[in-house]
Amino acid sequence: MAIEPYGIGGVEVKTDAFEAFADIPQNRVLLAEKLTKDPPVKPEIVTGLTDIESVFEHFGPEVEMEFETEEGMLRRETLRFGGLEDFGVKGITAQSPYLNELDWKQQQYHKMIRQLKTNKLLKQALANKDTKDALIRSLQALVAELKATQ
């Protein structure tokens, strides 16, 4: 007679190694907390929300953000969350014009850094003091011209 390793009523359920989350059975309760910035005046019991999407749809979480610009001014934006993907960097950046602008600037700076690291002619021009000064003067003149046309 073999000895059962799980005890009374134990059933082994094999899970795949890549499975990160298991579905919640229908006879269980899903509690979601703090999806609104203000606490409710009177707590309510919400039933019938069977998945994450319906929870987000029902509560419509959003947050008012204040960003400080490079000039030191405050910029207010409202971020809304319709799913878990909205909490990631891409989800937050996609709905914020200010963060979109910062992301674009960061990409441009990375392109400039790549050019500075790989462009041999530019490296040679920056290595010589006279050509470096001439390049700086021409860039300053270009910036002044761009500011004048705005």
For residue 84, the model assigns a pLDDT of 83
Q: Which residue spans within 8-73 are E strands per DSSP?
A: 62-68
Q: Contacts for 22-29 with beta carbons within 8 Å, 24 or more apart? A: 26/50
Q: Which DSSP helix (H) or strand (E) runs through 74?
A: strand 74-80
In this prediction, residues 35-61 reach a mean pLDDT of: 80
Percent of the chain predicted with pLDDT > 90: 26
Decide: pTM greater than 0.75.
Answer: no
Picking from 98, 76, 80, 100, the residue whose alpha carbon sits closest to that of residue 90 is 100
DSSP state letters, 120-149: HHHHHHHHSHHHHHHHHHHHHHHHHHHHHH
In angstroms and rounded to an integer, the radius of gyration of the C-alpha atoms of the chain is 28
In this prediction, residues 34-52 reach a mean pLDDT of: 77
Q: Per DSSP, what are the bridge partners of residue 66?
A: 76
Residue with structure tokens 């606490």?
39
Residues 87-144 pLDDT 10s: 888 999 999 999 999 999 999 999 988 888 888 888 888 888 999 999 899 999 999 9
The residue ranking higher by pLDDT, 28 or 38, is: 38
